[in-house]
Amino acid sequence: MFSFNKLVIFGVGLIGGSLARALRERAGAKGRVVGVGRSAQSVARAVELGVIDEAVALDADVALARALSDADIVLLAAPVAQTEPLLARIAPFLDARTIVTDAGSTKSDVVSSARKALGASRIKQFVPGHPIAGRESSGVEAALPELYVELNVVLCPLPENAAADIEKIEAMWRATGACVRQMSEAQHDRVFASVSHLPHVLSCALVDQILAAPDAELKFFFAAGGFRDFTRIAASSPEMWRDICLANRTALLVELDDYVNVLARFRAAIEASDGAALEEAFARSRMARTEWQERGGIKPAGK
């Protein structure tokens, strides 16, 4: 059983809202959940939906200090570019026992930001994390108590973290139904540049290519299942993905260059009418995709 006294969430949207709902509705945790936004009104909807107990404005010192007092866990579920200013904002109000974690899709930049904002004395309180979950819908209305069931959450513990604090964050995510894994922040960024960040860029690039075509309207009219499946993630938050691409640009550029090389091989085979090369590539990809799916793959979010 996972329990907490107070959980403070900065950014009560899909990720933060789903965590709050999962802890209450799946794990049966009874602790108080406080949501912090740019204004109290920006998180008021989360109170109306019963996802959180209290809405607090980020710029209200007294209310923010009260919200953070006696907090067991603080979750930063905001765009990664906001990590450093958010941590700098809350650092003066953090209790020594409070554990801070995040849900950012990149980790090397987040760790660097945390070290700058928290300093040597408080960095031990920060346990970097990344729930591998998402939907094309965003906002607290999209939050689901079952969002994390059987999905992966990656933690990138720091040398300064206490073992008990790492275990507390692991226990929180396991209570949502997630599977928790650990890796270094550098390894995390290399892996997710390949399997998460690159696919998003490719999805958006296809939509952008069609938009620029003189017959775009006709193409969109006839777009069907393949287009729908490939471009689903292009409907995600532009702000979030802007920050992810810039934060992980080094690893992402490597993956983009590799992908361009693969496309060049496909183009050469098509231009040369090399059916054998195309069939071999398609068969290889089909086998790899099938084996991945049979090993469990990834289930649709919320299912």
Give the predicted TM-score (pTM) of the model.
Answer: 0.87
Q: Please determine, for residue 296, whether its predicted confidence score (pLDDT) is greater than 80.
A: no
Tell me whether domains 6-183 and 188-294 share a fold: no
What letters, b where the CB count within 10 A reaches 16 and e where it falls short, cover 49-80?
Answer: eebbebbbbbeeeebbeebbeebbbbbbbbbb
User: What tens digit of pLDDT does each residue of 68-92 get?
Assistant: 999 999 999 998 999 999 999 999 9
Tell me which CATH code domain 6-183 carries.
3.40.50.720
Q: Where are the domains of the chain?
A: 6-183, 188-294
The rounded mean pLDDT for the chain is 93
**Predicted pLDDT of residue 301:** 46
What order do you get walking across the sheet with 126-127 strand by strand? 54-57, 32-37, 6-10, 73-76, 99-102, 126-127
Domain 188-294: CATH class, spelled out? mainly alpha
Q: How confident is the model at residue 195 (pLDDT cuts 50, 70, 90)?
A: very high
For the chain, how are helix, strand and coil distributed in percent, rounded to 5?
60, 10, 30
Distance of alpha carbon 211 from alpha carbon 231, whole angstroms: 13
